[in-house]
């Protein structure tokens, strides 16, 4: 099973290095050695002793990592050609690594040789500290790497990718595999970093885990966050949820959310729906109670008054439609003293009314990128370019909110903590997928008071609920019916 994994901005990752050296007194050379040994464990999965290997080392500690990799490979009788800067351009630690490496039959070059003959190229040119555009000889090296037929492994970051923005600094290595040291960097997941990093893994290099505050959502974390269910319990132990939504043209959205909610462990579920779809909803599901409300033109009537007292958690938005009544009901919901989950059209209703989120109870928001524009002063393109910054700023401004920015790489934020779920699956790129997530979130929140953990776990369960069939053919009902299998896997240790 995977370890707990982390991610940081480039600046924060460098600060953690410094903090480990200064506060835990871990010598930088020890961290470098751990980086090399841990990287080699992954490198060996992709190389054989008969392949020709070239390691490209730059003028900093990333180059030192590369030299340490060459020395450790040599101890296993795997010998590499190594491109290194001249001694006067090496960092202090890199030069020490070079001195310790000279006793091995390793070929060192100060001028780049032709890369066409190599099967494997290990990229240690530039890492987290790069902030300037690449030019000159390093531009030429990167262009030659990208034109080669070698399998390219980048250490920490593909050289030329900015660690935080993910943008290409003029030129960047196109890696086949990227081995992130200690933690992933935000730049791995956005902009050019996505396509240039390709396959992504991280390795532990000995930096204390307690320094980290931002997490990768994986099975190990989801197991820890999954709410427990005591056998000596009753339906009231898992809360009473009110799911508000549906309309004449979109009753399926509410159905998917309700079914997923019930599959995810809610105690009791009531669906508040326009009266015009009451019979349809009643025929489609018998597990939920229906609260029929007056309708007009196939949607909720305006100026409704709703009693939320019988319920312990409220979820709203799926299939409601975008009209005045939606805004009115969302305002009522957010005026209540209940935990609230907002999705779909309820997010539209917040446009121009984000002050409604300044409430004491927890509010959970589940926007995709278009819906995020209703919640902040940013365009779709700006959100795509800076999603971590957008989520981070929103959560600092609204500390009682938990935000899930849904995309192929989803970001979850609460206060100062961020989570990334980076397991894209095109089977979820369909109508109804978001409604299912809303239901899972509601179901898990019914089983715990730790809503942050419930939301994170729900996102993982949703991602893993896709059945093993072609992605194009997956139906929402099939995902919902797979939810129990994901629960079972997480509970079986």
We report the CATH number of the domain holding residue 436 as 3.40.1190.20
pLDDT at residue 4, rounded to an integer: 95
Residue 482 maps to a domain: yes
pLDDT over 80 (residue 113): no
pLDDT at residue 493, rounded to an integer: 66
Give mean pLDDT, residues 304-310: 96
CB 185 within 8 A of CB 164: yes
Residue 111: left if φ>0, alpha if ψ -120 to 50, beta else—which one? Answer: beta
pLDDT at residue 1, rounded to an integer: 66
Residue 10 maps to a domain: no
Quote the CA–CA distance of 145 and 133 in Å, as a whole number.
17
- Note whether 315 and 435 are same-domain residues: yes
Residue 3 maps to a domain: no
Q: Tell me which of 157, 178, 212 is where a domain ends.
A: 212
Quote the CA–CA distance of 10 and 189 in Å, as a whole number.
13
Task: Quote the tokens at residue 128.
Answer: 């987290």
245 in helix, strand or coil?
Answer: coil
- Note whether 206 and 226 are same-domain residues: no
- Note whether 354 and 432 are same-domain residues: yes
pLDDT over 90 (residue 2): no
- Note whether 227 and 207 are same-domain residues: no
Residue 2 maps to a domain: no
- The band of 330, judged by pLDDT with boundaries at 50, 70 and 90, is very high
CB 460 within 8 A of CB 219: yes
Residue 278 maps to a domain: yes
pLDDT over 90 (residue 129): no
- Note whether 404 and 313 are same-domain residues: yes
Instruction: Name the helix (H) or strand (E) containing 29.
Output: helix 28-43
Quote the CA–CA distance of 25 and 438 in Å, as a whole number.
46
Q: Which has the closest alpha carbon to 419: 197, 203, 261, 183?
A: 183
Rounded to two decimals, what is the model's pTM? Answer: 0.95
Give mean pLDDT, residues 349-375: 98
Quote the CA–CA distance of 195 and 176 in Å, as a whole number.
10
Q: Which has the closest alpha carbon to 161: 192, 186, 189, 135?
A: 192
pLDDT over 80 (residue 481): yes
- Note whether 373 and 231 are same-domain residues: yes
Each residue of 204-241: pLDDT tens digit? 999 999 999 999 999 999 999 999 999 999 999 999 99
Q: Where are the beta strands (DSSP E) in 339-471?
A: 340-342, 363-365, 401-405, 410-414, 417-421
pLDDT at residue 249, rounded to an integer: 93
- Note whether 199 and 242 are same-domain residues: no
Each residue of 39-66: pLDDT tens digit? 999 999 999 888 999 999 999 899 999 9
For the ranges 76-80, 83-87, 355-359, the maximum mean pLDDT occurs at 355-359
- Note whether 410 and 427 are same-domain residues: yes
Give mean pLDDT, residues 179-196: 98
pLDDT at residue 89, rounded to an integer: 87
Average model confidence (pLDDT) for the chain?
Answer: 96
H-only helix segments in 230-386? 251-263, 278-284, 324-335, 345-348, 369-372, 380-385
pLDDT at residue 164, rounded to an integer: 97
Residue 12 maps to a domain: no
Residue range(s) defining the domain that contains residue 69: 17-212
Quote the CA–CA distance of 26 and 115 in Å, as a whole number.
36
- How many percent of the chain have pLDDT more than 90? 93
CATH of residue 86's domain is: 3.40.50.10260
Q: How many domains does the chain have?
A: 2
Q: Tell me which of 212, 235, 269 is where a domain ends.
A: 212
Residue 419 maps to a domain: yes
Q: Tell me which of 164, 194, 212 is where a domain ends.
A: 212
Task: Quote the tokens at residue 327.
Answer: 């805004």
- Note whether 364 and 344 are same-domain residues: yes
- Note whether 160 and 295 are same-domain residues: no
- Note whether 118 and 241 are same-domain residues: no
- Note whether 138 and 285 are same-domain residues: no
Residue 364 maps to a domain: yes
């Amino acid at each position: 099973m995977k370890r707990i994994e982390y991610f940081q901005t480039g600046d924060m990752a460098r600060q953690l290095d410094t903090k480990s050296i200064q506060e835990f007194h871990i010598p930088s050379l020890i961290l470098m050695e751990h980086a090399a040994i841990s990287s080699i464990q992954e490198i060996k999965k992709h190389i054989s002793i008969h392949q020709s290997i070239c390691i490209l080392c730059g003028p900093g500690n990333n180059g030192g990592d590369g030299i340490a990799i060459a020395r450790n490979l040599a101890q296993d009788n795997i010998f590499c050609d190594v491109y290194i800067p001249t001694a006067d351009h090496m960092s202090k630690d890199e030069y020490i690594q070079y001195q310790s490496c000279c006793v091995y039959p390793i070929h060192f070059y100060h001028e780049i040789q032709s890369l066409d003959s190599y099967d494997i190229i290990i990229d240690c040119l530039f890492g987290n500290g790069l902030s300037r555009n690449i030019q000159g000889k390093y531009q030429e090296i990167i262009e030659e790497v990208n034109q080669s037929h070698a399998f390219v492994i980048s250490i920490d970051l593909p050289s030329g990718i900015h660690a935080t923005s993910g943008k290409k600094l003029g030129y960047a290595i196109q890696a086949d595999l990227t081995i992130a040291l200690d933690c992933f960097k935000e730049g791995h997941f956005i902009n050019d970093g996505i396509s240039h990093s390709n396959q992504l893994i991280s390795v532990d290099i000995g930096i204390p885990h307690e320094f980290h505050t931002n997490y990768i959502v994986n099975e190990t974390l989801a197991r820890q966050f999954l709410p427990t269910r005591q056998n000596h319990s009753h339906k009231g132990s898992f809360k009473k949820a009110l799911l508000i939504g549906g309309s004449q043209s979109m009753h399926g959205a509410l159905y998917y959310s309700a079914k997923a909610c019930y599959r995810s462990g809610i105690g009791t579920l009531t669906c508040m729906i326009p009266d015009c779809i009451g019979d349809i909803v009643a025929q489609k599901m018998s597990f939920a109670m229906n609260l029929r409300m007056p309708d007009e033109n196939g949607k909720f009537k305006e100026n409704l008054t709703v009693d939320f007292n019988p319920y312990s958690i409220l979820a709203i938005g799926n299939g409601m439609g975008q009209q005045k009544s939606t805004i009115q009901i969302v305002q009522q919901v957010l005026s209540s003293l209940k935990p609230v989950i907002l999705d779909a059209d309820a997010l539209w209703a917040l446009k121009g009314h984000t002050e409604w989120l300044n409430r004491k109870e927890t509010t959970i928001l589940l926007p995709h990128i278009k819906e995020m524009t209703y919640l902040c002063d940013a365009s779709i393109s700006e959100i795509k370019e800076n999603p971590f910054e957008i989520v981070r700023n929103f959560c600092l401004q609204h500390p009682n909110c938990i935000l899930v920015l849904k995309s192929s790489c989803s970001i979850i934020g609460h206060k100062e903590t961020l989570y990334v779920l980076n397991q894209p699956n095109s089977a979820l790129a369909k109508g109804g997928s978001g409604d299912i997530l809303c239901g899972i979130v509601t179901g898990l929140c019914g089983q715990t008071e730790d809503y942050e953990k419930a939301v994170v776990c729900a996102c993982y369960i949703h991602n893993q609920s896709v059945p093993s069939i072609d992605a194009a053919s997956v139906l929402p009902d099939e995902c919902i019916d797979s939810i129990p299998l994901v629960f079972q896997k997480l509970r079986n240790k």
